[in-house]
Copies of this chain bind each other. A is one copy, B any other.
């Protein structure tokens, strides 16, 4: 199943609340399990450059069913996935993109957040995803 608009808005509001708590201005994107945009929210004062990054983080997380930072650990020079960012019209592989997993253990979509340090981006994404589901999928051979 795909994330519903009601769930997407709930995730955005939870992410936004966390962003406010951290004193940051974020772009927050929700995509469905096909990687297609469901909802987007740019807080006042957020970087214009984060619009695309937030969406690419969400897309990247759902494309491979894992947190973006897990892919980034493999895409460094010499790593097994070096250069993967060139695929799919651009991926973002540093933290801030997190899958959203429903009660049946199926991925319903993902959230992507950009606008501050990667630690803050990740914390805000986690707050959003956790408001409507889990964030870990069953094991997969690709995962580290």
Contacts and interface: CB of A to CB of B under 8 A. Distances in A.
A24 B89 CA distance: 25
B83 A92 contact: yes
Nearest to A41: B39
A80 B51 contact: no
Contacts of A131: none
Nearest to A66: B47
Given A37-B40, A80-B118, A142-B117, A64 B49 contact: yes
A47 B65 contact: yes
A47 B63 contact: yes
A94 B86 CA distance: 12
Interface in A61-91: 62-65, 72, 75-78, 80-91
A135 interface: no
A116 B90 contact: no
A132 to B, nearest CB: 14
A134 B33 CA distance: 24
Contacts of A93: 82-83
Contact of A117 (B42, B72, B78, B80): B80
The 5 closest A-B pairs by CB, nearest first: A34-B34, A49-B63, A40-B40, A85-B86, A86-B90
